[in-house]
Chain A
Amino acid sequence: MPDEVRVPVECETDIVVARQKGRELAAASGFGRTEQTLIATAISEVARNIVVHAQRGEIVLCAIESKGRRGLKIVARDQGPGIADPELAMRDGYSTTNSLGVGLPGARRLMDEFELESKPGQGTTVTMRKWVR
């Protein structure tokens, strides 16, 4: 398993591919089954956001290490319309589509670190990290 995996996200089948690759890399990085599932679920949410709001983008999965800790970094990037109000987008139950509105705030709860960068017209980048305990 290489240290970095890039998954193009252009259709809903890619959502499944992205979370399966994420689970594989998480397992290879030393995460247990429960953590693997939390990571795969978070990837599913951010990958779906790409398909629904931007149509295409990519997810980059990367094994990381810092201060003797191992972890996994997930970057979900698109050149879509961007998010007008990122703070609102992180609020539970807020949705511009007909969804449950738990995707982004839920993904943040599943991971250890979560950053959302977005400007209208300039796409969206979500960076998430989780560390092996």
Chain B
Amino acid sequence: MPVPILKQGDVLIASIQAALTDHDLLTLRDELADRVGRLRAHGVIVDVTALDVLDSFATRTLLGIAYTARLRGAETVVVGIQPEVAFAMVQLGLSFEGVATALDLEEGLELLRARSQGGRDHAG
């Protein structure tokens, strides 16, 4: 199932709607890397509220999305990690080192806004 990507100002918002296969996740990564350049986006938000599992593959792919976007000049914020999903990730030994997270879409947008105002010294 493809993930819809919306553009709001210079931010791309990818709202994951349902459980994704590995292939769906890789497609999302490639789509975002492409659109960051094509649409000259400076921020990317990946909303994972609908995901009930974030396993090692999904985490690695989300990290890949964030690192790729950064190399293309955009900051990524992962929003909506559910409490029990966060707990499972910690037990599994996964971290989102170097990638910003926020509680929900609203806070994610706020974080990107603050970062673009504060210059790039807070990035990463």
Contact = CB atoms under 8 A, between A and B. Distances in A.
A96 interface: no
Is the contact region of chain A dominated by helix, strand, or loop, or is it mixed? helix
Nearest to B60: A100
Given A19-B53, A20-B19, A40-B53, A92 B93 contact: yes
Nearest to B23: A12
A102 B57 CA distance: 10
B39 interface: no
Contact of A100 (B19, B23, B56, B87): B56
Contacts of A110: 88, 91-92
Interface string A74-108: 00000000000000000010000001101101110
Interface of B: 19-23, 52-57, 59-60, 82-85, 87-89, 91-94
What are the 8 A-B residue pairs with the smallest beta carbon separation, nearest first? Answer: A106-B92, A44-B55, A37-B84, A34-B84, A41-B88, A12-B22, A102-B93, A100-B56
